[in-house]
Structure 1
Amino acid sequence: MYLIINKKSDASNEIKVTALVTYAKLELKELIHLKNLYYYQDSMLSEFRANIVRTGSEENRNYVVLDNTAFYPTGGGQPHDTGWINDIEIIDVEKVGEEIRHYTLADVTSLKGEVHGKLNWTRRFDHMQQHAGQHILTAAFVELFDFATVSFHLGTELATIDLNTADVTAEQLAAVESRANEIILENRPIETKWVDKEGLAEYNLRKEVTVDEDIRLVIIPEYDYNGCGGTHPTSTGQVGLIKILATEKMKQQIRIHFVCGQRVLQQLAMRKQVLSEVARQLSVPEENAADALRNFAQTAKANDKALGEAQDALLVFEARELAKDTIAASVFSNRSIQQLQKLARFITQENPDAIALLVAENEEKLQFVASRGANITHSMKDISSAILPLINGKGGGNDALIQGGGEKVLTAGQLLDEMKKIYV
């Protein structure tokens, strides 16, 4: 649209300008009406030509507004498309008011007139497979068990739906997955139709729609009728395959993790690689890997228990030697705080008249434990309050046992000497 304005300024000209600008805005709004958008006219369109309406910037990104587009903006649980306008990479697409903004990090000031748009088709078709698969899977849960979907999320690796049920069995999941894949194998058409509020009465919708006009239905004939603004392939066969991978309890709902199409092959390849590596490490055929891993875990658990018992026996032996003194003090290297606590308890159990003062030097920090025997009335908190400021440390505990740690501004021996001063 061209706007010609007489240089002479008067009231009539101002009225004409206002009217033309208003008309231009209405024309743009009508031009990019939902029904006319390329991604709704033909979801399989991967390249297109359009005209630049305007360019702009927002925070650290620039954007382009076209008079039409095949780029799908984020919405309805489906992520945005990416791709290119001429040779400029589009990294995000969002609907802002009446505009669809194509965001880029590149300079857009040179874009004028007609441009060529090209989608990242691998990304778009993947999104269409997952979204159509969600419709099919959701309808199967309703058809077989009357479990409604309350939310949908399309992630980069997995897709999820949340069901309004507190429990779902393995048998139910298998039945739903089988039914969903039957619908895919039948290669039913996936149709779209625009209706108004009154026209909805003709269709058995899976759930109520939230808008009163420009209602877009996605239809799998004699199976699923649903209001949806996303993009989908033209037939169920293009979804390829649906596989349910996992379930997760979410309060009073169940989250279903699933994949469709190419993602099934990606998940299969990843899991095959993991299984092969596990089988190789265990030196067993893949079909025996689960049993071998179970046996390995049981053996490892038994070994951990035996090792723990052996370590405790050594700590008891060490405690007996230290407990010969009423101030059982010692410095260690690379002892965990848990080991120090256990040793301190063994010492005071062995000698109820002893106080255990233990310090360990671990990597870039000092750690300590102080514990008293049953016959000692002094509070161990006196120690922590005295030495924590010396090492810029933090600690906790009670009158009988305290522990803490801090910076290595002192040596382990110097810290132990400071602890001794309180009772010696």
Structure 2
Amino acid sequence: MAFFCQTDSYATELLTEVVSCSPAQLKTENGGKKETLSGYNVILKDTVLFPEGGGQPDDRGLIGEVPVHRVTRQGPEAVHFVSSLLDPGSEVLVKVDWNRRFDHMQQHSGQHLITAIADSLYGYKTTSWELGRQRSFIELDTPTMTTEQAEAIEQLVNQKIRQRVPVIVRVITTDDPEFNQVRSRGLPDDHAGPVRIIDIEGVDANMCCGTHVANLSDLQVIKILGTEKGKKNKTNLIFLAGERVLKYAARSYSVEKSLTALLKNGPEEHIEAVEKLQKSVKTLQKNNLTLLRDLAVLTAQSFKNSPDRSKIFSLHRKEGDNEFMNIIANEIGTEDTIVFLTVGDEKTSGLFLLAGPPEIIDQVGPRAAKILDGKGAGKKGRFQGKANKMSQRGEVESLLQGVLNGTAPKEE
């Protein structure tokens, strides 16, 4: 069975009937955080919303006024996940998010076209593809592709777009002689009934369940951004089609304009200017590290030369790293002195180091890490790690003083 969205990919709404509505849950990811939504799985008599398949993501839209969060195919049915109960037998108007749909149509038909041209020009077969949120890629069965080859593919696909080649959707049965001649990566295990053929006239015929443009002119333009090494000796060809090319150009110009203002030179000089800045930063970082090392040595010497130095040396510095702290500890010597050092934000996170007699450090190291809400490890009189509550370092100092005085409470 072909859904209405497959019969007419340009349709934006459909009046249909609710067949069933059953409680369900949907696992989603929002901003990297996984969550489970409670709602309902709805099956309609027919649908204008495409369920994911063929490498194409599913549509979004409305059933009446109820948002559809996911559409999946289960056998011959399209299952719509919604958050509100719908009455079986009721008539509903289903609307598609057209901007999302048309974007997917452009990328999917663009993939078919690039796949066909890459095969005809160089014999590179497509083994998989991914329709990404911003850019898409086609996995080609070749270990390498030259820049000249990618440019030739781009030139020919855009020529086909300018020629306004029709894209025809045909339906055949699995016993049709043509079934074994058209390009395909295989049918789903649960497929039943006729097979859809997406025929780019004179260019390619391919089995596919997705939604496609009716004419290559609707692709507007295809831009191949480049290639990268893929899995198992294959090459990923990265591309944009249609509106995505326009958006990419707008973003690129905005970045170029900002860089021009920041670097105070023309776009053709941006790379040279950034390279100079990178070299300057590396030099400054090197000089800064040298100064920090010198400061660490001077800090340690100042403490050692103090006539009334205590048994505990404690220091916090916003700028610094593990090397800075270890230099101080090494210079002071920790046979009879406890060194407590921290670097980073004085109220939130940073690094810490405890050094001193092993019998004391082994005892207080884990306790200090707990006070600082951090983690650490150590041996031979050194314990260091990361801290998330640097504001608690005063409590660590009190703990160290208590250990020396024999008044520190035992850990529970």
TM-score over 0.5 for the pair: yes
Residue 223 of structure 1: aligned partner: 203
Q: In the alignment, is the contact (CA less than 8 A) between 2:325 and 2:342 conserved in 1? A: no
Match of 1:299 in 2: 280
Q: Give yes or no for the alignment of 1:260 onto 2:237.
A: no
Alignment of 1:117-196 (within 5 A): 117-196=94-173
- Distance change (3 Å), C-alpha of 1:259 and 1:96: same
Say whether 1:275 aligns with 2:256: yes
User: C-alpha separation between the residues in 2 aligned to 1:258 and 1:381?
Assistant: 62
Is the 1:94–1:101 Cα contact (8 Å) retained in structure 2?
Answer: yes
Q: Where do residues 330-409 of structure 1 align in structure 2 (5 Å cutoff)?
A: 330-335=313-318, 338-339=321-322, 341-345=323-327, 348=330, 357-360=339-342, 362-364=346-348, 368-371=352-355, 380=358, 382-389=360-367, 392=370, 394-399=375-380, 401-404=382-385, 408=392
The one-letter code of the counterpart of 2:10 is M
| Gap change, CA 1:327 and 1:141, over 3 Å in 2 | farther
Report the AA paired with residue 104 of structure 1.
Answer: V
Q: Structure 1 residue 39 and structure 2 residue 12: aligned?
A: no
Aligned-pair CA distance for 1:155? 2.5
Contact between 1:337 and 1:369, CA under 8 Å: does it hold in 2?
no
Return the TM-score normalized by structure 2.
Answer: 0.79
- 1:202 and 1:99 map into 2 onto residues whose CA distance is 23
Partner Cα distance (1:112, 1:347) in 2:
77
What secondary structure does 2:315 align onto? strand
Task: Report the Cα offset of residue 238 of structure 1.
Answer: 0.8
Q: Does 1:76 align with 2:54?
A: yes
Q: After the TM superposition, which of the residue ranges 43-52 and 67-76 deviates more from structure 2?
A: 43-52
**Does the CA-based 8 Å contact 1:79-1:154 persist in structure 2?**
yes
Aligned to 1:234: 214
CA contact (8 A) 1:57 1:63 kept: yes
TM-score (norm 1): 0.77
Report whether the alignment pairs 1:321 with 2:302: yes
| Partner SS, residue 151 of structure 1 | strand
Aligned to 1:13: none
* CA-CA distance at 1:355 after TM superposition: 5.7
Whole-Å Cα distance in 2 between the matches of residues 224 and 298 of structure 1?
51
Amino acid at match of 1:333: H
Mind listing any 5+ residue stretches in structure 2 that lack a counterpart? 26-37, 407-412
The root-mean-square deviation of aligned C-alpha atoms, in Å, is 3.4
Aligned partner letter, 1:332? L
Aligned pair partner of 2:87 in 109, 113, 132: 109
- The percent of aligned pairs where both chains have the same amino acid is 25
Of 209, 212, 227 in structure 1, the residue corresponding to residue 186 of structure 2 is: 209
Larger radius of gyration: 1
Q: Which residue of 1 aligns with 2:28?
A: none
Out of 216, 223, 238, which is 1:243 matched to?
Answer: 223
Task: Flag the 1:288–1:411 CA change in 2: closer, same or farther, 3 A.
Answer: same
Is the 1:323–1:347 Cα contact (8 Å) retained in structure 2? no
- Alpha-carbon contact 1:77-1:154 (below 8 Å) kept: yes
User: How far 1:143 sits from its partner (Å)?
Assistant: 2.4
Maintained 8 Å contact 1:139/1:224: yes
Asked if the contact 1:331/1:412 (under 8 Å) is kept, the reply is no
- Amino acid paired to 1:96: Q
- Alignment partner of 1:174: what SS? helix
Query: How many pairs were matched up?
Result: 380
User: What is the CA-CA distance between 1:161 and the residue it aligns to?
Assistant: 2.3
1:237-292 CA distances to partner (integer Å, 9 max, x unpaired)? 11111122354434423333322101111111112111211111112223322222
5 Å-filtered alignment, 1:86-105, equals 86-105=64-83
One-letter amino acid of the counterpart of residue 9, structure 2: S
Deviation of 1:384 after TM superposition, in Å, equals: 3.2
Once the two structures are overlaid, the 10-residue window that deviates more, 307-316 or 87-96, is 87-96
Separation in structure 1 between the aligned mates of residue 328 and residue 348 of structure 2, nearest angstrom: 27
